[in-house]
Amino acid sequence: MGRGSICGFGYSMDELIVFFGSEYGKGAYHAEALFRQLYTGGNAEVSGTQEYRPAAELAEKVERDFKVCLPEVGMSQDDAGTRKFSLSLEDGAITESVIIPMVESETLCISSQVGCSRGCTFCETAGMGLLRNLKTDEIIAQWAVAHFDLGTKPRNIVFMGMGEPFDNFDAVIRAVDILSDQRGAAIPKRRISISTSGHVVGIRQLMELENRFPDRGYRTIRLAVSLNASNDDIRSRLMPINRIWSMKELKSALLDSPQSHKKDALYFEYVLIPGVNDDEQHADELNRWMEGMVAKVNLIPYHPTGSSPWSEPDEESLKLFHSVILSSGRECRTRRSRGKGIEAACGMLGKYSRLSRSVL
Residues tagged active-site: 346
Q: Using the 8-state DSSP alphabet, how is residue 240 labeled? A: G
Query: Kindly report the CA angle at 178 between 22 and 125, in degrees rounded to 5?
Result: 120
CA distance 355 to 142: 20
With a CB cutoff of 8 Å and minimum separation 6, the contacts of 275 are: 310
For residues 13 and 162, which CB has a smaller minimum distance to ligand SF4 in the complex?
Answer: 162
Q: Which positions touch ligand SF4 (CB under 6 A)?
A: 116, 118-120, 123, 125-126, 162-164, 197, 226, 347
| CB 244 to ligand SF4: min, Å | 12
Alpha carbon distances (Å) from 48 to 52, 60, 217, 309? 7, 11, 34, 58
For residues 82 and 228, which CB has a smaller minimum distance to ligand SF4 in the complex?
Answer: 228
| CB 188 to ligand SF4: min, Å | 25
For residues 286 and 349, which CB has a smaller minimum distance to ligand SF4 in the complex?
Answer: 349
For residues 238 and 318, which CB has a smaller minimum distance to ligand SF4 in the complex?
Answer: 238
CA distance 153 to 186: 11
DSSP labels for 10-48?
A: G--HHHHHHHIIIIIS--HHHHHHHHHHHHHHSS---TT
For residues 235 and 251, which CB has a smaller minimum distance to ligand SF4 in the complex?
Answer: 235
CA distance 317 to 53: 66
Contact 168, 161 (CB under 8 A): no
Contact 123, 105 (CB under 8 A): no
| CB 342 to ligand SF4: min, Å | 18
- In sequence order, the β-bridge partners of residue 296 are 267
| CB 122 to ligand SF4: min, Å | 7
| CB 70 to ligand SF4: min, Å | 24
DSSP labels for 46-79?
A: -TTSTTTTT-HHHHHHHHHHT--BPPPEEEEE-T
| CB 329 to ligand SF4: min, Å | 28
For residues 52 and 302, which CB has a smaller minimum distance to ligand SF4 in the complex?
Answer: 302
Residue type, 240: P
